[in-house]
A and B are shown apart, each in its own frame.
Chain A
């Protein structure tokens, strides 16, 4: 940078004009004449002389009384013993790359002229540069300090890049290598990228404004995930647009995260400080975006795999447990055994039912016979009782095991035997007779209850007859025997 200022001054301001062998080069006015001039004429003459003498001046001094008015800048340049008025017109002010402030040591270049209304000579400054430190460096430092104080570069303001950057805005020059680099990287590593390019001039006059406009415009594109703004490498002058305040502010205002990608590995630009993420080069910015995409793809694939294997192994574990249980000795063969048991139970039940039914049928047949035989007798109660018990036995038998059935059979047989033995017919068959009182209501068990002349009804094995009592014999303990005899 200093090289700029090492140039020899082309036009040393010289307070004493060279003694001219000829009169001043003012046409039509001979020197030495005492012609009376108006103030305007003299001033105009002076102006012509001065402007001709100092068409290009470079003056070094300290800035003071610095003020701007209507886009123009006025200040005084001074050193220990003199001062010079300076004016900068709007076009020159626009090219300023730093903010002139009182006390700055500067070099002002331009031409000397006369401001006729005031009769003052002044430097019309076309370029103003800080002395020593480069103008750009100074401008950079000033802007950086100012924006930092405003909080524009705060880490807390930085937005994270989206996990899945799909729609990517790119702001750069359309014909620069930077754009091709970005597209090449994205093509290779982010096959689903949707790229929206907003062309912008990235160097030269108005580049900063163009970039700022582009940022505003691309911020209005719906669904954008991230914006890359940048250019390839170059000199500090080439990159200057990225050190301008408008760009920094446009980056901060952009509604989606911004990656700065100004091709300069070592130095940072103001845009780098303002951006949410800084990439060293346009390719690096594209790689950053692509790596987010790749990372997320990888993450998803891994989760998918783990999801599958997690459930898979869970099912396998459970299946293994079930299989182990199935093959455990305690359970092994159970199905077969159960089937066998089932068949056995079915067969047994069937046999039981058959047996019970058969014996019940037999019993019922015998009972029916007995019933018939007993029908006329007063044994219904007993038979009913027996039937009830039989039915009960029947019900219980159906559910019982074989030995129960056997017991029931035995019981049935016993019951039948008892019924048989209780049958008066059997007794009558053996020669006994039943003797009823006259109205056939009461069996005669005591001879004392009768008297001669009473009528009785006598039932024998086959048939019955009526008889009258002729004589009552003495009532003794063994009443049976005498009664036997008369019937023989």
Chain B
């Protein structure tokens, strides 16, 4: 989703909070309420996308500055010695 006029996650969240406050105050025309609501939904979608667009990943940065997937014993889920207990 491209929302060109959103700076970053934090800015989007702050703007969203402002919109919600304004909507809750409620002294707006229905038209401007709807405009704000649409903007709010776009911001919220952007934020959610940003929250979820990173896949859980564990990498090792080696001496040559290369990123390599971490060995299985670090990635947890499929670590045999950690299975069945905490």
Q: Interface on A for B, CB 8 Å cutoff? A: 162-164, 166-167, 169, 174, 179-180, 183-184, 187, 191-199, 217-218, 220-221, 293, 296-297, 299-300, 303-304, 306-307, 310-311, 313-315, 317-318
5 contacts between A and B (CB under 8 A): A192-B52, A197-B74, A296-B13, A297-B51, A306-B24
| Known A192-B51, A194-B55, A307-B20; 13 more pairs at CB < 8 Å | A166-B50, A192-B56, A197-B58, A221-B67, A296-B9, A299-B13, A303-B44, A307-B23, A307-B41, A311-B37, A313-B26, A314-B30, A314-B33
Q: Are B19 and A192 in contact (CB under 8 A)?
A: no
Given A196-B67, A220-B65, are A307 and B48 also a contact pair (CB < 8 Å)?
no
Contact between B23 and A303, CB atoms less than 8 A apart: no
Which one of A164, A179, A183, A303 lies within 8 Å of B20 (CB-CB)? A303
Interface residues of B in 51-76 (CB under 8 A from A): 51-52, 54-61, 65, 67, 70, 74-76
Measured CB to CB, the nearest residue on chain A to B36 is A311
In contact, B54 and A166 (Cβ under 8 angstroms)? yes
CB distance from B18 to the nearest CB of A (A): 10
Q: B16–A307 contact, CB under 8 A?
A: yes
Determine if A303 and B16 form an interchain contact, defined as CB atoms under 8 angstroms apart: yes
Give the distance in Å from the alpha carbon of A183 to the alpha carbon of B9 in the complex.
Answer: 24
**Interface of B toward A, CB cutoff 8 Å:** 9-10, 13, 16-17, 19-20, 23-24, 26, 28, 30, 33-34, 37, 40-41, 44, 47-48, 50-52, 54-61, 65, 67, 70, 74-77
User: Contact at B56–A196, with CB atoms within 8 Å?
Assistant: no
B54 close to A167 (CB less than 8 A): yes
Q: A184-B76, A192-B55 are in contact. Are A221 and B61 (CB under 8 A)?
A: yes
Question: Are B59 and A310 in contact (CB-based, < 8 A)?
Answer: no
When C-beta atoms are compared, the residue in chain B nearest to A218 turns out to be: B61
A163:B13 contact, CB within 8 angstroms: yes
User: Contacts A197-B74, A199-B60, A311-B34; is A164 near B24 (CB within 8 Å)?
Assistant: no
Alpha-carbon gap, A183 to B51, bound state (A): 19
Question: A298: shortest Cβ distance to chain B, in Å?
Answer: 11
Bound state CA distance, A297 and B10, in angstroms?
12
Select from chain A the residue with minimum beta-carbon distance to B59.
A196
Q: Which residues of A contact B16 (CB under 8 A)?
A: 300, 303, 307
Complex: A315 Cα to B34 Cα, angstroms: 10
Q: Are B65 and A187 in contact (CB under 8 A)?
A: no
Q: Are B59 and A195 in contact (CB under 8 A)?
A: yes
Among residues of A, the one whose C-beta sits closest to the C-beta of B40 is A307
Docked CA distance A313–B28 (Å): 13
A195, B57: Cβ atoms closer than 8 Å:
yes
Given A307-B16, A307-B19, A307-B20, A196 contacting B76 (CB threshold 8 A): no
Please give, as numbers and ranges, the residues of chain B lying within 8 Å of A221 by CB-CB distance: 61, 67
Minimum CB–CB distance for B76 against chain A, Å:
5
The residue from A196, A299, A307 contacting B37, defined by CB atoms under 8 A apart: A307
Shortest CB–CB separation between residue B71 and chain A, in angstroms?
9
Partner of B13, one of A195, A217, A300, A318: A300
- Within the complex, the shortest CB–CB distance from B78 to chain A, in Å, comes to 12
Q: Check B67–A296 contact: CB distance below 8 A.
A: no
- Complex Cα distance, B65 from A218, in Å, reads 8
* Cβ contacts under 8 Å, B33 to chain A: 311, 314
CB-CB under 8 A from A199, the residues of chain B are 60
- CB–CB B9/A163 < 8 A: yes
Residue contact A300 to B51, C-beta cutoff 8 Å: yes
Complex Cα–Cα for A9 and B44 (A): 72
> What separation, in Å, do the CA atoms of A180 and B70 have in the docked complex?
12
List residues of chain A with CB within 8 A of the CB of B41: 307
Given known pairs A218-B61, A307-B23, the reply for A193 and B56 (CB within 8 Å) is yes
